[in-house]
Chain A
Amino acid sequence: MNFSGPRFRQVLPAAALLACAAGLAAPAGAARPGGAREPAPAARTQATPTRPSLPPLLPPAALLEPHATTAWPMYNGDYSGSRFSTLQRINAGNVRRLVPVWIYQVSGGGFGAAQVMGGVDATPLMVNGVLYFTVPDHVFAVDARTGTLIWRFNWVNHGGLLIVGNRGVGMSGNRLYFMTPDNWLVCLNARTGKEIWQKSIADPRLGYFSSGVPLVVGNHVIVNAGGDTLDLRAYLESRDTRTGALQWRWYVDPSAGQPGADTWPDASARLHGGGNPWVPATYDPKLNLVYAATGNPNPVYAGQGRLGRDLYTGSLVAINPDTGKLAWYFQGNPHDTHDWDQTEPPVLFDAKIHGHMRPLVAQASRDGYFFVLNRRTGKAYVSTPFIPLNWSLGVNQRGEPIPNPKVIPTTDGNLVSVTAGGATNWFPSSYDPQTGLFYVNCAEGYSIAYLQSTSKKASGFAGRAVTLKSQGMLKALSVKTGKMVWQHIYPDQWGEDSGILTTAGHLLITGDSAGNLIAYNPKNGKILWHYHLLSPVSNGPETFLLDGHQYLVVGAGPYLYAFRVMPSSGLN
């Protein structure tokens, strides 16, 4: 593929700054047609390795630690995705004295390449007193004690969609891994923010764009490109942590003759079948399996040209990170025609089911089903709706939902008892081993789904859904039965977009759509504390220990907040 786009980190010329000041928002780099073809970027292949004398900020072994306390070394805090912290210095007894110690604002003062769009969807990593986080096109390193900027990396984007946000960076040793909206995997020196190498993983001209967070497992950086604007073949791939070289690529839409290929009517539908696994993946070091959730098939709302189950779209897949081979799959959203994916991060934990401790993976899916599976085999223990829904006729022998063929988008509109956005979305859920409950922010409601094209060769979205009613809720689900144990109905009717953190301090922390950061009792949903932020929570809250103090850090639109418990003597 002849793809030579301009992707240099750009030093801002004064002219660009002035152009921006005049309100023109000039693109910082030359565009292709109309501008000159870009020279082959030879310079960027020149690696600038970190000096070997520097000790690794994040030794690879530290990534294996469950429930890390003195660091938040990856997107979910650890590989499990449970977002449960064993820290209890902030607890139900003192949470009322939680106060912000600093606020960092990512927008403002940015021009041209430095201009910021989107809020903090990323969950910052915290390693050695430094927070590393992103917004689309930008990486920030900020001092965790003071909120002071240490360095910032600005990317010149050439066509990747920014609207989708960015979930953050992966880290190993002294290196950070960042996905740009136009699908470049960029390796940065964590100490300096200087680029070490960059690799294109997908062509933005085909409609791929990236919002994901790289998952580092051993010497693998596992990444994907997203995008369902056009009808693409989706994949998950692994790159070498040191060189960025491709190690393997696993296609969501299987090759001819491979298992799953017969769930598509023809090669054209299959090879343009979409299903990008855009949600941050999780990992079980013992079983050596990566758990990824795949997206919706394409064309999005038009299923008539891709009749069948459309494997492995809308599925939870377990993949060996060394080989890229599929160990098992569970299709929680077969033949999706509503843009629901099977998103929400897969959450890994062990719990007693039918009298035995079992390795589990749980997921509250955007199609409204809650799944608890054996993470070694994919066997379903729980597969039950967590909101009322009309699109499914029940489940098959494997526990996979059976879609109702009458609840599909039509040109005159088809009523669906799930909102257009789905029951929930990418924002992280949490499992608290102290309560045995799984927590998810979700919405109940209705939508009407329209079909734009009745052609078997429909393209892109090929339809739309309009939300007719939505009620935002926080639900606590039993992982044994899938039944709701308690729920908090938000006063605002719209769904909340906040992630969830639970801690051994008997706290559940999340946000509401009015902008409150709220601490609940995870046993019963009683509210213990709240603080009104400048913008609603836009990421998953995190916590860590630094200098003996437990911090709570949360993203709220363009702001990042750090909280600590105010001692009776005041903050020092």
Chain B
Amino acid sequence: MGVPKRRRAPAAACVAFFAALSGLLAAQQPGQEAVPANPAALGAVPAKPGAKKPVKRFTGPFAFKAGQPIMGLGKLAAPAVIASGQRVFETNCSFCHGADAQGGIGPDLLQSAVVLDDVNGDHISNVVGKGFPGHMPAFNLTPTQLHDLAAFLHSRVLAIANLAHGQYQIPFTVDGNAAAGKAFFYGRGKCSTCHSVSGDLAHIGAKYTPYQLQNLFLTGVNLRTYYGGGSRPKQLVTVKLRSGRSVTGALRYLDDFNVVLVDADGKVESIRRRPGVQVTMNNPLAAHQRLLGVYTDADIHNLTAYLVTLK
């Protein structure tokens, strides 16, 4: 049972690699896969001459990007090529295979072996050029059209796959009653205890989409900032020591054994949680979290309808 030597890379190369990697990781949430920052560097299919600079099509935490091989399908083509393929599809194929290529009177193309086995149109050309007697007529398309059609269908497979990772819009509709939402705001919800529609919430309906607004008041945090690497809202903690002295500051770390806080002067206090040491959290989200046990779905939708009016 031999023990192989560990491979060593040149030190400079290591530094460059980890610098690049740490740059990528810095913007990520825990549990996410590192994705290359620059798709062009991976040899993305170049755009057609004269085409605009490729626009990043799939964004967000888990998105599969142009040039990134995924699901064994190879690399995603440039947007201009995909758009061209979409026109070919809409003109010739969508009548039977559905506008989304997921099937109509003809089969779902996104789970079709013909599409999945295709490389730059080679399999698709065969089927499209010959048709299936009794099922599908033959179509006379140019090699470029076939190539682009394949690129479009592959992009559809990736787009559907991206649905798993939040790459779509919720078709959110504001269907609540604004007046009832206002009554909740000033009454049962007690929102007006901390918030003012002419103060901190002024014009909030113009700053966020209704969907964002709803998640904002449900959690009490701006999820975009929150999940985009932004810090949690500052949590104040008060620690009463065994000596009777009490320190208050922003919470830096807490577990069952220690608490670390930064006091008003910026001094870091690290305190062992021995018996007699009392830790009191001032949870800035407490009022929002309490409401989760109070809301009905109608309360939530009404409150959203009201906040939307605060343009």
Q: Are A34 and B43 in touch, CB under 8 angstroms?
A: yes
Q: Are B164 and A412 in touch, CB under 8 angstroms?
A: no
Q: Are B215 and A411 in touch, CB under 8 angstroms?
A: no
> Would you call B205 an interface residue if the criterion is a C-beta within 8 Å of the partner chain's C-beta atoms?
no
Q: Are A2 and B117 in touch, CB under 8 angstroms?
A: yes
Q: Spot the interface stretch: A256-264, A362-370, A426-434, A454-462.
A: A454-462
Q: How far is the CB of B21 from chain A (nearest CB, A)?
A: 7
A497 to chain B: closest residue by CB: B31
Q: How far is the CB of A470 from chain B (nearest CB, A)?
A: 10
> Would you call B247 an interface residue if the criterion is a C-beta within 8 Å of the partner chain's C-beta atoms?
no
- Near A by CB (< 8 A), chain B positions 222-259 give 223, 253-257
CA distance A451 to B211 in the complex (A): 12
Q: Are B72 and A411 in touch, CB under 8 angstroms?
A: no
CA distance A191 to B32 in the complex (A): 33
> Would you call A414 an interface residue if the criterion is a C-beta within 8 Å of the partner chain's C-beta atoms?
yes
Dominant secondary structure at the A interface: loop
Contact partners of B14 in chain A: CB under 8 A: 21, 109
Dominant secondary structure at the B interface: loop
CA distance A494 to B210 in the complex (A): 27
> Would you call A395 an interface residue if the criterion is a C-beta within 8 Å of the partner chain's C-beta atoms?
no
CA distance A512 to B255 in the complex (A): 8
> Would you call A514 an interface residue if the criterion is a C-beta within 8 Å of the partner chain's C-beta atoms?
yes
Contact partners of B23 in chain A: CB under 8 A: 23
Q: Are A464 and B42 in touch, CB under 8 angstroms?
A: no
Q: Are A23 and B289 in touch, CB under 8 angstroms?
A: no
Q: How far is the CB of A445 from chain B (nearest CB, A)?
A: 8
Contact partners of B4 in chain A: CB under 8 A: 149, 151
CA distance A130 to B121 in the complex (A): 49
CA distance A420 to B111 in the complex (A): 28
> Would you call A162 an interface residue if the criterion is a C-beta within 8 Å of the partner chain's C-beta atoms?
yes
Contact partners of A464 in chain B: CB under 8 A: 166, 170
> Would you call B119 an interface residue if the criterion is a C-beta within 8 Å of the partner chain's C-beta atoms?
yes
> Would you call B52 an interface residue if the criterion is a C-beta within 8 Å of the partner chain's C-beta atoms?
no
A463 to chain B: closest residue by CB: B170
CA distance A22 to B20 in the complex (A): 8
Contact partners of A3 in chain B: CB under 8 A: 117
- Near A by CB (< 8 A), chain B positions 1-18 give 1, 3-4, 6-10, 12-14, 16-17
Q: Are A158 and B42 in touch, CB under 8 angstroms?
A: no
Contact partners of B72 in chain A: CB under 8 A: 5, 32, 158-159, 182, 203-205
CA distance A459 to B13 in the complex (A): 43
Q: Are B74 and A459 in touch, CB under 8 angstroms?
A: no
Contact partners of A55 in chain B: CB under 8 A: none
Q: Which of A37, A412, A530 has the most CB of B within 10 A?
A: A412
B219 to chain A: closest residue by CB: A468
Number of interface residues of A (CB under 8 A): 83
Contact partners of B110 in chain A: CB under 8 A: 230, 459
> Would you call B51 an interface residue if the criterion is a C-beta within 8 Å of the partner chain's C-beta atoms?
no
Contact partners of B301 in chain A: CB under 8 A: 412-413
Other-chain residue from B16, B69, B173, B255 in contact with A23 (beta carbon distance below 8 A): B16
Q: Are B6 and A149 in touch, CB under 8 angstroms?
A: yes
Contact partners of A437 in chain B: CB under 8 A: none
Contact partners of A454 in chain B: CB under 8 A: 171
> Would you call B71 an interface residue if the criterion is a C-beta within 8 Å of the partner chain's C-beta atoms?
yes
- Near B by CB (< 8 A), chain A positions 254-288 give 272
> Would you call B161 an interface residue if the criterion is a C-beta within 8 Å of the partner chain's C-beta atoms?
yes
> Would you call B83 an interface residue if the criterion is a C-beta within 8 Å of the partner chain's C-beta atoms?
no
Residues of chain A whose beta carbon lies under 8 Å from any beta carbon of chain B: 1-3, 5, 12, 17-18, 20-27, 31-35, 37, 109, 111, 114, 117, 143, 148-151, 158-159, 161-163, 182, 191-192, 203-207, 228-231, 272, 300, 410-415, 417, 446, 448, 450-454, 457, 459-464, 466, 468-469, 490-492, 512, 514-516, 518, 527, 530
Q: 12 A-B Cβ contacts within 8 A?
A: A24-B41, A34-B74, A37-B119, A151-B4, A159-B73, A182-B72, A228-B164, A415-B295, A415-B297, A452-B168, A466-B215, A515-B255
Cβ-closest 10 pairs across A and B: A23-B20, A21-B13, A33-B74, A159-B72, A31-B69, A514-B255, A460-B163, A32-B74, A229-B164, A446-B292
Instruction: Known A-B contacts: A450-B211, A468-B289, A469-B219. Give 6 more (CB < 8 A).
Output: A111-B17, A151-B4, A205-B116, A230-B111, A466-B223, A516-B256
